[in-house]
């Protein structure tokens, strides 16, 4: 029985075009105890493959984290399947603000140690003792409170293109890095400040809020459903939007526009730009921000070296990559040394120390 994806991204894209069906992009997560993640993973793959679900799904003993797309006319069957699983019945589904039939081109269901790489030892604190969940309106009210410190729990390349007005945006490459930095920089404000957190869909804040309460923070709040649900409520209820720019997403779309503001700049020329791309040189594949002019001039590449390699015949490129891993620059997510307008390092909590 097939338990893994067999089609290439190009083959899948062609099938999607031929099908001519509108697809929905959505995400959800749920913390729960799963005794046999591998068996659960296989069951999900079989069922979701039959529904033409595509996406990236992580399963662990602690729960599930899913970002996916499916034909709109299969949504009811998909929802019925979720409801047939005890811990997923009526789970909140974050429907994408901007739809794209090509948001995912493969179905990947993977068993992981954790559904978010937080690096925490969950046995040392109560992961169910979470912060107070806030709606969009409640979040806005808390954001306006002068006694509030609002912290973006995402990584630097996410917040670079969009964040809440006045939010602290940790200059980190991973979620785990931000946990210690925030605790250290707010150590003198554990009791007198409201710690208000947000992320893309809410999952990172679920664990972070419990962690910070364990660390002694008294007033911990989180945006329920993250930026995705916030935007839905803003649009549905006519609430003031306090998010500026784009919301970074982890699929082929790379971002959803929340406001018309462009707060980032091209990493190569410095012009206003908030479009993330991957370097066309497969041996590099660096994620960075590139405007249309630089895209044309650099042939979709991040450097002259990569441009030269990308211009070589495919077989020559393949031979150069043989036995070589990706450059360490790939993990810098737009902060490679050769990008003159990469995001600057800075002290994120400087205002609190004045």
| Structure confidence at residue 99 (pLDDT) | 92
Average pLDDT, the chain: 92
pLDDT digits (tens, 9 = 90+) for 233-252: 999 999 999 999 999 999 99
Cα dihedral value 295, 297, 303, 305, nearest 10:
130
pLDDT digits (tens, 9 = 90+) for 79-106: 999 999 999 999 999 999 899 999 999 9
In the chain the domains, ranked by start, together with CATH numbers, are 9-111 (3.30.70.100), 123-237 (3.40.250.10), 264-354 (no CATH)
Rounded average pLDDT over 132-159: 96
Whether residue 199 lies in the annotated active site: yes
Are 68 and 119 in contact by the 8 Å Cβ rule? The answer is no
Give the pTM.
0.88
Given 150, 199, 279, 284, which residue is catalytic? 199
| Structure confidence at residue 128 (pLDDT) | 86
């Amino acid at each position: 029985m097939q338990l893994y994806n067999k089609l290439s991204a190009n083959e899948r894209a062609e099938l999607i075009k031929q099908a001519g069906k509108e697809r929905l992009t959505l995400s959800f997560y749920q913390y729960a105890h799963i005794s046999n993640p591998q068996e659960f993973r296989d069951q999900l793959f079989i069922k979701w493959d039959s529904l033409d679900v595509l996406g990236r799904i992580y399963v662990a003993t602690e729960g599930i984290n899913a970002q996916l797309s499916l034909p709109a006319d299969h949504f009811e069957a998909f929802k019925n399947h979720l409801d047939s699983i005890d811990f997923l019945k009526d789970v909140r589904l974050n429907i994408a603000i901007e739809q794209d039939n090509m948001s995912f081109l493969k179905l990947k269901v993977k068993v992981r140690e954790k559904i978010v790489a937080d690096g925490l030892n969950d046995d040392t604190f109560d992961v169910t003792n979470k912060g107070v969940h806030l709606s969009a309106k409640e979040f806005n009210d808390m954001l306006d409170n002068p006694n509030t410190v609002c912290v973006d729990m995402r990584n630097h390349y996410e917040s670079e293109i969009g964040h809440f007005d006045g939010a602290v945006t940790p200059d980190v490459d991973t979620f785990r890095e931000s946990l210690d930095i925030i605790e250290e920089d707010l150590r003198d404000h554990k009791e007198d400040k409201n710690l208000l957190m947000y992320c893309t869909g809410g999952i990172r804040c679920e664990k972070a809020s419990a962690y910070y309460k364990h660390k002694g923070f008294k007033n911990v709040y989180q945006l329920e459903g993250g930026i995705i649900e916030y935007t839905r409520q803003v649009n549905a209820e006519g609430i003031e939007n306090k998010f500026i720019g784009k919301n970074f997403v982890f699929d082929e779309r790379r971002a959803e526009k929340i406001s018309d503001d462009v707060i980032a700049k091209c990493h190569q020329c410095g012009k206003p730009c908030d479009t993330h791309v991957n370097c066309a040189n497969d041996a590099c594949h660096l994620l960075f921000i590139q405007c249309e002019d630089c895209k044309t001039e650099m042939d979709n590449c991040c450097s002259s070296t990569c441009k030269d390699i990308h211009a070589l015949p495919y077989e020559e490129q393949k031979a150069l990559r043989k036995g070589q891993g990706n450059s360490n620059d790939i993990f810098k997510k737009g902060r490679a040394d050769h990008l003159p307008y990469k995001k600057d390092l800075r002290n994120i909590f400087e205002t609190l120390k004045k």
